[in-house]
Amino acid sequence: MKKKFIIIFMIIMFALTACSIKDGVTSNSGNEQNEQTPEEPIKEEDEETEESEETEESEETEESEEIDPVAAIDLSIEPNELGEIMILMYHGIGPEESVWQRTPENFRKDLEYMYQNKYQMISLNDYAKGEIKTKAGYTPIILTFDDGRQNNFNYIEQDGELIIDPDCAVGILEEFKEKYDDFDVTVSFFLNANPFGQKEYTEQKIKWLVENGYDIGNHTYNHYELELLSSDEIQAEIGSVNNIIKAIIPDYEVETLALPHGSNPKKENLEIMLSGEYEGNKYKTIATLDVGWRPAYSPFDTLIDFNSLYRVTASEINVDNCGIYDYFKSFENGTRERFISDGNPEVVTIPKKHEEYLNMDMVGDRIVNIYE
């Protein structure tokens, strides 16, 4: 009897492996649940003689039970995948605190707060695709830096060696990566004509960022207000930055755009902002960022507009109750609802009261899980 069970078990395992290889082509997540039932077990009495005995006990405990992905979700953490997500807008990191610059100490304070209060950094690209891989019970948060300032990514010489300045944005982010190995550190840098100063290191910096899990976004070549530009000018502004990155990493796709001065293009020029071609290279924009003043909607919310995403200014001064800690506080005291992940990127779990806001186009093939 046991031997028969082992044979069936092996057939099931084989069938499951075959399914997941096939599914792997279109699926982007490692933990999809295969619902397929394996084929009818074939009667294989004749093979009963050849099975090994040494594996019997261990096999028995690993029964091939199907895990229901919805049943596996812990509702006691009150998942809410229609809650808000903050896209934080940083500019400089430097000695003087201002609306457009955070001191290294304050940036460290922000990161520490995020880590201690169950925020987990995700990339803007994943957000725009609805691929939220945040741990169960945690809230995704997106960090963006505009203008490609040298103090975002600065190399300095120390004892004849080139090192990353420990007080520039990248230096501080790397410090946190070391400090907390369960803290997913990623940031999008929105670049203009001259990324991060230090021209001699531009190529090295761009490559280093992409190799180390950071993202590059477009902030246009000259930082003009798009509202004032023609279609051709917009194409050149976006295309030129795209081409700088393409020349360094040909297969990297710059898919996100931060609007200079938060200025949206005229309606008739929206198309050219979203896709175009400039001097031989195509570009495509899947997420466009405004300048401020409130958390963004969940990507699964019907109210989302990926062509004009809200951001929160990562500052504590002159922000009219719309700064980073004002919103952290509102999430804490429940005056606003934060996105709380169910831990499974293939399932979208929401409280019933928000059901009418669920954007099924974004949900796509994911499983919807609504609870009271």
Which region among 147-155, 157-165, 262-270, 353-361 touches Zn ion (by CB under 5 A)?
147-155
Cβ proximity to Zn ion: between 147 and 215 the closer is: 147
Which stretch, 9-17, 96-104, 110-118, 141-149, contacts Zn ion (CB under 5 A)? 141-149
Helices and strands in the chain: count of H runs, count of E runs: 10, 16
Angle between helices 231-248 and 202-211 in degrees, nearest 10: 80
| 315/369 with CB nearer Zn ion | 315
The distance of closest approach from Cβ of residue 310 to Zn ion in the complex, given in angstroms and rounded to an integer, is: 16
Q: Does 147 participate in binding Zn ion (rule CB under 5 A)?
A: yes
Site for Zn ion in 350-369 (CB under 5 A): none
Q: Which residue, 146 or 290, has its beta carbon nearer to Zn ion?
A: 146
Nearer to Zn ion by Cβ, of 130 and 260: the residue is: 260
Cβ proximity to Zn ion: between 147 and 290 the closer is: 147
Q: Which DSSP string corresponds to 14-30?
A: HHHHHHHHHHTTT---T
- Indicate whether 237 belongs to the interface with Zn ion (CB under 5 A): no
CB 355 within 8 A of CB 301: no
Answer left, alpha or beta for residue 299, where phi above 0 means left and psi between -120 and 50 means alpha: alpha
Whichever of 193 and 368 has its CB closer to Zn ion, that residue is 193
**Nearest residue to Zn ion, by Cβ distance, number only:** 146
- Asked if 146 interacts with Zn ion (CB under 5 A), we say yes
**In 3D, which of 317, 329, 335, 296 has the Cα closest to residue 132?**
296
Tokens read off for 183: 């803290």
Span near Zn ion by CB under 5 A; candidates 71-79, 101-109, 142-150, 288-296: 142-150
Type and span of the H or E element at 161: strand 161-164
User: In the complex, what is the shortest distance from the CB of residue 313 to Zn ion, in angstroms, rounded to a whole number?
Assistant: 12
Nearer to Zn ion, 124 or 340 (CB): 124
**Cα gap 356→275, rounded to integer Å:** 31
Binding region for Zn ion (CB under 5 A) out of 30-38, 145-153, 194-202, 264-272: 145-153
Contact between 290 and Zn ion by CB under 5 A: the answer reads no
C-alpha 48: how far from chain center: 50
Window of 140-148, 178-186, 234-242, 300-308 that interacts with Zn ion by CB under 5 A: 140-148
Return the residue matching tokens 């200079």.
Answer: 260
Give the closest residue to 85 by CA, choosing from 108, 52, 119: 119
CA distance 237 to 244: 12
Give the interface with Zn ion as residue ranges (CB under 5 A). 146-147
